[in-house]
Chains A and B, each alone.
Chain A
Amino acid sequence: MKKLLLYGVLFLVAVSSCRKDNDHLFNETPDQRLENKLNAYREQLSGAAYGWKLLLEPAGGGAYSFYMKFDDNNRVRMVSDFDSGSAANLEESSYRLKALQQPSLIFDTYSYLHVLSDPDARVNGGEFGLGLQSDFEFFFSDSTLSDTIRLTGRVNGSKAILTKATQEEAQAYTGGNFNVTLFTGFLQKIPQYFKEFTINGRPYDLTINPNTRKVTFTWLDDQGNVHSFSSTFYYSLRGIELVQAFGADNSLITGFYNPAWSEATHTVTADLGENTTVSVEGVINPVAVDKDAARRWWQRMIDEDGYWVSLTGFRVNGVDDAYGLTDIQNFVALSFFPKYGTSGGVTYDLAGYLMDEDGQLTLSFGAAFRAPTFTADGRIRFGAYLGDLGNIPDDALDPYGNTILKMTESSGFYLVQTGDDEYDMVSASDGQSWINWFAP
């Protein structure tokens, strides 16, 4: 009886194990479905008659815009808003659709997209070995809409979004009409360092850093408290676009569009979206000042026993390196050493000239100043000119003297911290001259 039972089980196993019902959830094999998906993406990409706009937010920060036209032979032509050259010159490279772990879009020869990923920091101003931590291989994260495709970078997880372009956009991008300095170019014509616009009677400071692609608004509320809002931005055909819109009182700022320069008032007018137009003007005193910045800047190099460096000296009334420091033979940089030394019982700061002396970076000469004072409203006022250190070469006399005169202006300077290791020092007398200092 036991054996019979065993045979019975064996019979059941033999019969049932051979069930070959096709009871799959899908009608096709995974490979077939993957292939269909890749083909669908390929048709979607190359089928867009006027190409695509791509907005890329690298994992390392910032936002960059591209225009891309895919054909069905693995070729893509693109421009990018990285700089004026990449915006104007359409370049062709190669792309592929491939199943990595999931359907993926791979840009497989060097293009403007790879500029952001390049580990050579000289290419993109990023970090050596990392670049801007961007991506050039993307997973399709979502493509439910026919004119929008979301992508995620495979290596760093950068976010990207493709949006179908219109015929007018395609013509502008491919015709060399993408001008990334449309708004910022006008902004630079304003002679003052601080820029301001007013919405509903409230003034806002506007700070734009093209290197980090960050725009910052600073304002005072009704009680006089300082507020600020920052967003990354990128360039488009009509100006700059904020990645995160900013609600300024009752107006929504999504970007600065269709800018125009007024030579008469030295102002830039721009649309903010939603029918709001503002006029950006230069001001001597900003809405809000970082009151600790001046002392922080000065104290840091005492704590670190180091010095600040400027490669170009002062910009004055719209002229970079107005005093011609870079024309001095063998000039490398202007440096600033707080509490450099003591002379006759007076501790002095030094504005030193770093020169290339036979391949050696040398502090050749400099101007000594008495100790600075700091005002309650956040300015630094350098002390009186004390004397020279070293021998000043003939071709440096004018740049040297003019820099001393500028630095000893009695109204002093505001310090604006623009990065971890970087400050702008802005003349408080007219707001039209400033110098960039960074920690070497």
Chain B
Amino acid sequence: MKRLRNYFLWIILAIGVTSCGKDDFNPADAENIVDLGGGTWAKGDIDEWISDSLITPYNINVKYKWDAFEDLGDISAIIVPPKEDYVIPILRAIRNTWIFPYIHVASTTFFNPISPKLIYMVGSPAFEESGAIKLGTAEGGKKIILLAVNFSKTKEMEGYSAADSSWIKQMFLTIHHEFGHILHQHTLYPPDFKNLNPDLITSNWQDYSDEEALRDGFITAYSMNTIDDDFVEIISHLLVNGNTWFEQMLASIPDGVSRRGTTKEQAIARLRSKKSIVENYYRQVWNINFSNLQSQVRAAVEEALY
């Protein structure tokens, strides 16, 4: 009797298992998954340019069309998509002032593996509740969000005037700033840099003007945010604004002592150390001649703006 019952149980189990056998999954069915649409669109000139000029050679994709679900990090302000006629001129300027110089001085085997993979373009800046105007941001080396595209004219665009150069120059600075972060996140800069001015780093950098920051040996007030930011701000400003500008900045530091007790001589020495650490870092870690890179970037910036 006991045995019989066991058989019975097995039979039930067998029925249960076999009868519930679902249809086999056939990979070919994947094509039958309904495409809800909206993820693709009829390709136009802009899409073609992006594909030919950025995706194919450098594996960098660009989203210029509005996507409600794009992760914008800490940006919560109201923003609008870019104007179409701004997209290609700005991307071309970015390519010429960022990708080309790095590839000429190093190579695509250096650049392509570490470059950010997505550029998301936004038409307006982000007007934050604090009153700050955000122009760009990046996420973990993968994505760069470029804001204020509709403000950023280049020389090739109709109605360009020299006054327009400040916005697009901010954009160049943003790109080089974020790329600088990618470099040091890959291989950290030497500890010397961390020991230059650790006491002056403050998250309250917004309380200081750029002039005050300069008197303490920072190229911008934002440089004081973190040591990492100090490092990449020096990189981006040296590259985009050039060496002549850097020397002018040093010369503009007034005599006397800053609010936080830095003398003019200390500030100049500190900025020169930062520059030379950056140059050494580029040579030793990446085998890149920084001053060569600098002159190429600066030439491209002038080509795009003046």
Does B97 sit within 8 A of A, measured CB to CB?
no
Which of B20, B78, B84 is close to A119, meaning CB atoms less than 8 Å apart? B78
Interface size class of A (residues with CB under 8 A): 35 or more
Which of B36, B81, B128, B151 is close to A34, meaning CB atoms less than 8 Å apart? B36
Are B81 and A99 in contact (CB-based, < 8 A)?
no
CB distance from B163 to the nearest CB of A (A): 14
Q: Which residues of the other chain, A, contact B38 by a CB distance below 8 angstroms?
A: 38, 96-99, 104, 106
Bound-state Cα–Cα, A31 to B35, Å: 8
Q: Which residues of the other chain, A, contact B123 by a CB distance below 8 angstroms?
A: 110, 114, 118
Does A229 sit within 8 A of B, measured CB to CB?
no
Does A94 sit within 8 A of B, measured CB to CB?
yes
Q: Which residues of the other chain, B, contact A136 by a CB distance below 8 angstroms?
A: 66, 80-81
B16-47 CB mask vs A (1 if < 8 Å, else 0) is 10011000000000000111111101101000
Q: Which residues of the other chain, A, contact B39 by a CB distance below 8 angstroms?
A: 98
Are B78 and A117 in contact (CB-based, < 8 A)?
yes
Bound-state Cα–Cα, A75 to B9, Å: 65
Does B8 sit within 8 A of A, measured CB to CB?
yes
Are A154 and B66 in contact (CB-based, < 8 A)?
no
Are B36 and A38 in contact (CB-based, < 8 A)?
yes
Closest partner residue, chain B, to A137 (CB atom): B68
Does A347 sit within 8 A of B, measured CB to CB?
no
Does B165 sit within 8 A of A, measured CB to CB?
no
Are A119 and B79 in contact (CB-based, < 8 A)?
yes
Bound-state Cα–Cα, A73 to B13, Å: 56
Listed residue (A38, A74, A129) with the most chain B CB atoms within 10 angstroms of its CB: A129
Are A14 and B19 in contact (CB-based, < 8 A)?
yes
Are B34 and A109 in contact (CB-based, < 8 A)?
no
Q: Which residues of the other chain, B, contact A155 by a CB distance below 8 angstroms?
A: 78
Are B80 and A108 in contact (CB-based, < 8 A)?
no
CB distance from B214 to the nearest CB of A (A): 22
Bound-state Cα–Cα, A63 to B35, Å: 36
Given A119-B80, A129-B127, check contact A31 B36 (CB 8 Å). Answer: yes
Are B34 and A7 in contact (CB-based, < 8 A)?
no
Bound-state Cα–Cα, A159 to B126, Å: 25
Within 8 A of A (CB), among B151-182: 151
Q: Secondary structure of the B side of the interface?
A: loop
CB distance from B126 to the nearest CB of A (A): 8
Are B12 and A10 in contact (CB-based, < 8 A)?
yes
A66-83 CB mask vs B (1 if < 8 Å, else 0) is 000000011100000000
Are A109 and B77 in contact (CB-based, < 8 A)?
no
Which of B13, B44, B65 is close to A96, meaning CB atoms less than 8 Å apart? B65
Which of A11, A14, A96, A110 is close to B41, meaning CB atoms less than 8 Å apart? A96
Which of B66, B77, B83, B151 is close to A129, meaning CB atoms less than 8 Å apart? B77
Q: Which residues of the other chain, B, contact A73 by a CB distance below 8 angstroms?
A: 41-42
Does A130 sit within 8 A of B, measured CB to CB?
yes
Bound-state Cα–Cα, A302 to B37, Å: 61
Are A110 and B82 in contact (CB-based, < 8 A)?
yes
Closest partner residue, chain A, to B67 (CB atom): A108
Are B37 and A38 in contact (CB-based, < 8 A)?
yes
Does A32 sit within 8 A of B, measured CB to CB?
yes
Q: Secondary structure of the A side of the interface?
A: mixed
Are B36 and A98 in contact (CB-based, < 8 A)?
yes
Are A29 and B34 in contact (CB-based, < 8 A)?
yes
Q: Which residues of the other chain, B, contact A34 by a CB distance below 8 angstroms?
A: 34, 36
Q: Which residues of the other chain, B, contact A38 by a CB distance below 8 angstroms?
A: 36-38
Are A131 and B64 in contact (CB-based, < 8 A)?
no
Are A7 and B5 in contact (CB-based, < 8 A)?
yes
Q: Which residues of the other chain, A, contact B69 by a CB distance below 8 angstroms?
A: 100
A50-68 CB mask vs B (1 if < 8 Å, else 0) is 0000000000000000000
CB distance from A14 to the nearest CB of B (A): 3
Closest partner residue, chain A, to B84 (CB atom): A109
Are B82 and A109 in contact (CB-based, < 8 A)?
yes
Bound-state Cα–Cα, A276 to B150, Å: 47
Are B124 and A99 in contact (CB-based, < 8 A)?
no
Which of B9, B33, B35, B41 is close to A74, meaning CB atoms less than 8 Å apart? B41
Are B37 and A94 in contact (CB-based, < 8 A)?
no
CB distance from B75 to the nearest CB of A (A): 11
Does B74 sit within 8 A of A, measured CB to CB?
no
Are A35 and B42 in contact (CB-based, < 8 A)?
no
Closest partner residue, chain B, to A34 (CB atom): B36
Are A7 and B12 in contact (CB-based, < 8 A)?
yes
Are B80 and A14 in contact (CB-based, < 8 A)?
no
Bound-state Cα–Cα, A117 to B80, Å: 7
Q: Which residues of the other chain, A, contact B151 by a CB distance below 8 angstroms?
A: 120
Does B129 sit within 8 A of A, measured CB to CB?
yes
Q: Which residues of the other chain, A, contact B251 by a CB distance below 8 angstroms?
A: none
Q: Which residues of the other chain, B, contact A17 by a CB distance below 8 angstroms?
A: 16, 20
Q: Which residues of the other chain, A, contact B8 by a CB distance below 8 angstroms?
A: 7
Bound-state Cα–Cα, A118 to B66, Å: 14
Given A74-B42, A119-B77, A129-B127, check contact A109 B65 (CB 8 Å). Answer: yes
Does A405 sit within 8 A of B, measured CB to CB?
no
Q: Which residues of the other chain, A, contact B129 by a CB distance below 8 angstroms?
A: 129
CB distance from B42 to the nearest CB of A (A): 4
Q: Which residues of the other chain, A, contact B36 by a CB distance below 8 angstroms?
A: 31, 34-35, 38, 98-99
Closest partner residue, chain A, to B12 (CB atom): A11
B117-137 CB mask vs A (1 if < 8 Å, else 0) is 000000111111100000000
Bound-state Cα–Cα, A117 to B39, Å: 23
Bound-state Cα–Cα, A106 to B68, Å: 9
CB distance from B29 to the nearest CB of A (A): 13
Within 8 A of B (CB), among A114-148: 114, 117-120, 128-131, 136-137
Are B79 and A109 in contact (CB-based, < 8 A)?
no
CB distance from A134 to the nearest CB of B (A): 10
Listed residue (B12, B20, B38) with the most chain A CB atoms within 10 angstroms of its CB: B38
Closest partner residue, chain A, to B20 (CB atom): A18
Query: Which 7 residue pairs across A and B have the least CB separation, nearest first?
Result: A98-B38, A14-B16, A129-B127, A73-B42, A108-B66, A31-B34, A108-B65
Can you list 29 pairs linking A and B with CB atoms under 8 Å apart? A3-B5, A7-B12, A10-B9, A13-B16, A17-B16, A17-B20, A18-B20, A31-B36, A32-B34, A74-B41, A74-B42, A75-B44, A93-B84, A96-B38, A97-B38, A98-B36, A98-B37, A100-B69, A106-B68, A108-B67, A109-B65, A110-B82, A110-B84, A119-B78, A120-B151, A129-B77, A129-B129, A131-B78, A136-B66
Contacts A109-B64, A110-B83, A118-B124 given; 16 further ones with Cβ under 8 A? A10-B9, A13-B16, A29-B34, A38-B36, A94-B41, A97-B38, A98-B39, A106-B66, A108-B65, A109-B65, A114-B81, A114-B123, A117-B78, A119-B124, A129-B128, A136-B80
Q: Residues of B at under 8 Å CB distance from A?
A: 5, 8-9, 12-13, 15-16, 19-20, 33-39, 41-42, 44, 64-69, 77-84, 123-129, 150-151
